[in-house]
Structure 1
């Protein structure tokens, strides 16, 4: 259940005894007009490596991007990654689990691409287990984009997922919350307290899961209703807080 926007800053001691879960876009990096325009700098790569060491591998990225998409950003950084909203998981030691890719995704991608051709600014993002239609470059097309996605969801029974200036159809059966719960059930996360950082509506299930398991969510960005307990105003503040929290984490 969402509550009025949290205003409290998270204490820098929050990561003591914690398992840390991080959204990527809008949390660790600024949102970009196109997903491929995002890059990871030395500050972020170094920070995640320090966090992984301090927390004994109790760090995971949970993202709408694919596992391979995240790995392409960071290179051989041995952290756990739950990609495609948690549908695919690669653990810090390289073990990977994947669902089956439905044949309907090819038709969905072609339909979205045909739709995007008619309006400059629309972007179709192909994912291993989903297809996303971004309208950040054509915000007036939001109603039409959502209408198309609803029609395709009805026709294919795939899961309809909304987000910041985008709508996505993907394999169902999981979300960021179920990914967090699954990771918390096994080493190295089991027995520790989950802390999740995220900015988007797609992150709310993970906020709820972290709270249910005795931990907390941290909302990144402008105030809004959320299940998070704490809030940080932007990506830069998030990185600064993680750096401080890493220093005081035994």
Structure 2
């Protein structure tokens, strides 16, 4: 597993575009905006929406936002998007024109939700219900991280779900809800097909996306200090991502 400090910086985006069509798949939290104590506490630049649409045009439409958030949540922070996007860890996918790509995601079974809520209430944690799953947040109670992850694993095993652990969060999703599957779906349609995919993300949940990019002869860019198995390059922080994207 490569540490970020051992990975080189990526070649410039203009240089990559000079070699042929490139598709960018970009995470949101920790990549385009800084991590906050709670999901609703993030700070989003007021002109980020405009800058992302300009980047979309520069890429001839080959830009997709791929987030763990639901798309409604994502758009509540960014405004209306006419950009390809995948929310709910890639399970809910839309083309830039607003048409759905694939099936809508399913939420967790009621019994699983009840178990997660009860654990959160007992341990003073935040439970976040999503259209595709549910998440236990323990950023404010780091001493509960091991217990939260163990509980989430047990719930996942009982209900046939998958556990996605990120930065101070344990999230349960339906099988197959991951960012790699989203990249694969987009790469099968225009304008993405035939291009070189680049996946940019800061968290373990982005590893699937980077691995999928490699399958299409592309690569991943890790953001921040988390070690990465799949990334080829590294960017230091959100500011470095904005600089590289020329946002």
Taking structure 2 as the reference length, what is the TM-score of the superposition? 0.91
Q: Tell me the CA shift for residue 195 of structure 1.
A: 0.8
Q: Aligned pair in 2 of structure 1 residues 103, 216: CA closer, same or farther (>3 Å)?
A: closer
State the Cα distance separating 1:159 from its structure 2 match: 1.2
Decide which of 187, 190, 195 is 2:190's aligned counterpart. 187
Q: 1:102 to 1:84 in 2, by over 3 A?
A: closer
* Structure 2 gap ranges (5+): none
Closer/same/farther in 2, CA of residues 103 and 50 from structure 1, 3 Å limit: closer
| Aligned equivalent of 2:103 | 98
Contact 2:49 2:79 in 1 (8 A): no
131, 139, 142: which one pairs with 2:142?
139
Superposition deviation, residue 42 in structure 1 = 2.6
In the alignment, the residues of structure 2 paired with residue 140 and residue 223 of structure 1 have an alpha-carbon distance, to the nearest angstrom, of 20
1:154: how far off? 1.5
**Cα distance in 1, alignment partners of residues 57 and 184 from structure 2:** 22
Instruction: Please say which of residues 2-11 and 227-236 is displaced more in the overlay.
Output: 2-11
| Partner residue in 2 for 1:11 | 11
Aligned length: 241
Matches within 5 A, 1:191-210: 191-210=194-213
The TM-score, its normalising length taken from structure 1, stands at: 0.90
Spell out the pairing of 1:41-190 with structure 2 (5 A cutoff). 41-96=45-100, 97-99=102-104, 101-102=106-107, 104=109, 106-120=110-124, 122-190=125-193
Asked if structure 1 preserves the Cα contact closer than 8 Å seen for 2:69 and 2:87, the reply is: yes
How far apart, CA to CA, are the structure 2 residues paired with 1:103 and 1:166? 17
Give unmatched runs, 5+ long, in structure 1.
none
Residues 1:222 and 2:225 aligned together: yes
Structure 1 residue aligned with 2:235? 232
* Contact preservation (8 Å) 1:31, 1:38: yes
In 2: Cα distance, 1:171 partner to 1:25 partner: 21
The answer to whether the Cα contact below 8 Å between 1:15 and 1:195 also exists between their aligned partners in 2 is no
Distance across 2 between alignment mates of 1:44 and 1:34: 20
Alpha carbons of structure 1 residues 147 and 92: separation in structure 2 relative to 1, 3 Å: same
Q: Describe the shift of the 1:228–1:100 C-alpha distance in structure 2 as closer, same or farther (beyond 3 A).
A: closer
